[in-house]
Amino acid sequence: MRYTTLISAAELASHLDDSNLLIIDCRHDLSNPDAGPEAYRAGHITHAQFAHVDLVMSGAKTGSDGKFKGRHPLPQRQDFIDAMQALGLNAATQVVAYDAQGGMYAARLWWLLRWIGHAQVAVLDGGLQAWQGQGGALSTAVPAAVRGNLHDQPALVSSIDVDGVLANISSKKMLVVDARAADRYRGENETIDAVGGHIPGAGNRFFKDNLDADGRFKPATTLRAEWSAVLDNAQMAIMQCGSGVTACHNLLALEVAGLPGASLYPGSWSEWSADPARPVAIGPQP
């Protein structure tokens, strides 16, 4: 069993009792941090553990320099490794991450595990809805975890910090792609961050455009065609969003499309817009 991008509900069901499988529930609500744990306690896929977006998949919002790093900055690597070990992760473990929001949170865990060098991680395509839609049962039992021995390995993904993104405005070496909805990209209806708009020069690809109407990812050929219209070379692209979460959904879609190599800007708009010295663009894509 080796899945590195997506796994279907039927495929997961056929491996549900595999000894090297770790299922992680990533459900979350940006406006209610308790929603994920409450949903997990109410019912989750059998054997699933829970990982909180804020507490496990994110780090301190303020850096050692006192500057705001965004709403969901990357966790410290060792802190994240320790959290994954506590859930039972070993080097040979197949991880399946799921949520109930089209993969928007599960993709963050997918990226983070690749960040610490673990390739065997996939997002449940269609999430909890797909699982229940094919007859999958839910459980309220919290499984005991045997601490794993996963260690830090060379990263399989890349990231770029705010200074690199700022320098890129002048050099234009890389294409920045914003995963937020088009209205927020344009600077309209901004209800989360203090400033509306986008990074100058950034394009826009709403992460939900990666999904079909049923909440599953579009076929690889479709994603490749759509993304090829957005960028020429994924390896020269930077994915960002509001806080570095849904940008991972675009990174997963690129991987499914066979267009790997884009970088994540973890701080994203929440970090960028916090400093009034950084330039802001308003309006539609040029």
Longest dimension (CA), the chain: 54
CA distances from 19 to 14, 139, 236 (A): 13, 18, 39
Burial 163-175 (b: 16+ CB within 10 A, else e): eebbebeeeeebb
Burial of 63 (0-12, 13-18, 19+ CB in 10 A): middle
Q: What is the end-to-end Cα distance of the chain in Å, rounded?
A: 45
Known catalytic residues are 241
Residue 40: both structure tokens together: 């997990």
Q: What is the DSSP string of 116-169?
A: TT---EEEETTHHHHHHHTT--EE----------------SSEE--HHHHHHHH
Contact status, residue 31 vs residue 53, Cβ threshold 8 Å: no
Distance CA 48, CA 137 (A): 12
Residue whose token pair is 């320099």: 65
| Neighbouring C-alpha atoms within 13 Å toward the C-beta of 214 | 10
Distance CA 253, CA 144 (A): 33
Torsion of CA 218, 219, 220, 225, to 10 degrees: -70
